[in-house]
Amino acid sequence: PDSEKSSISHAITLSHPIGYKKIYRNKDFFGYGVNGTPADCVKLAFDVLLQKKPDVVVSGINLGCNDGCSVFYSGTVAGAREAALMGIPAIAVSLNAFQEPVFEPAAKYTANLLKQLSDLKMPKGTFLNVNVPNTKIKGIKFVRQCTIPIHGTFKKTYNPTGKAYYWLTGKKPKHRKNTEFDTYALNSDYVTVVPIKSDVTDDTFLEQLQNLDS
């Protein structure tokens, strides 16, 4: 996207047209800037911008982590999910920093992970959610997603006319002290990799439902 799209999740643009512009750096073509959501970017790339579908899609590197339940709100994760829905292997990459970010280690780990994945066949509809510490990295862990919900609180304030409005602020939950889950492993200075399925059907409960009297 050509602008900030934090917490836009898997939204797509239907209410107005979107466009793109070519981006140059040091007079060399660098890529395309799309005035849409991350999911829009993937859709437009596949349908308009690219002559053939890519071998892999990397969404990010995002400024700020997308561990745990952040995957449900993240536009970065949605970009990878959109590619996975279209049958293309994909990785979402996020850096656990907002100030003084150092992107090079995240780029290096992503490149190395892609090389290793070339020997594996990623299941259709599955993508990887990668989070990278902005500190000295201890290693890499392939883990589960932490599912403790993010607690949001609304701060009430007033505009100059006296009308109330609210700012939503998110608070990270207390995480499981277990490096088998992404939030704790990330906060313990490990790169975390979580495989995520696009098919969110609860197969176990579906079987129970199908046994109900119709």
Amino acid at 174: K
Q: Considering the domain boundaries, does residue 74 fall inside one? A: yes
Q: Considering the domain boundaries, does residue 85 fall inside one? A: yes
Whether omega for the bond prior to residue 150 falls within 30 degrees of 0, making it cis, is no
Q: Considering the domain boundaries, does residue 185 fall inside one? A: yes
Q: What is the pLDDT of residue 68?
A: 95
How many domains is the chain built from? Answer: 1
Residue 114's CATH number: 3.40.1210.10
Q: Considering the domain boundaries, does residue 196 fall inside one? A: yes
Q: Considering the domain boundaries, does residue 202 fall inside one? A: yes
Return the closest-CA partner of residue 91 out of 169, 16, 196, 179: 196
- pLDDT tens, the chain, 214 aa long: 999 999 999 999 999 999 999 999 999 999 999 999 999 999 999 999 999 999 999 999 999 999 999 999 999 999 999 999 999 999 999 999 999 999 999 999 999 999 999 889 999 999 999 999 999 999 999 999 999 888 888 999 999 999 999 999 877 766 668 889 999 999 999 999 999 999 999 999 999 999 997 6
Q: What is the pLDDT of residue 191?
A: 98
Q: What is the sign of the dihedral through the CA atoms of 54, 125, 64 and 33? A: positive
Q: Considering the domain boundaries, does residue 102 fall inside one? A: yes
The tokens for 69 are 């339940």
Return the closest-CA partner of residue 131 out of 192, 51, 70, 178: 192
Q: Which domain holds residue 127?
A: 20-147+175-210
Q: Considering the domain boundaries, does residue 167 fall inside one? A: no
Q: 173 with 148: CB under 8 angstroms?
A: yes
- Rounded to the nearest 5 degrees, what angle is found at the Cα of 103, between the Cα atoms of 89 and 76? 40
Q: 0.75 exceeded by the pTM?
A: yes
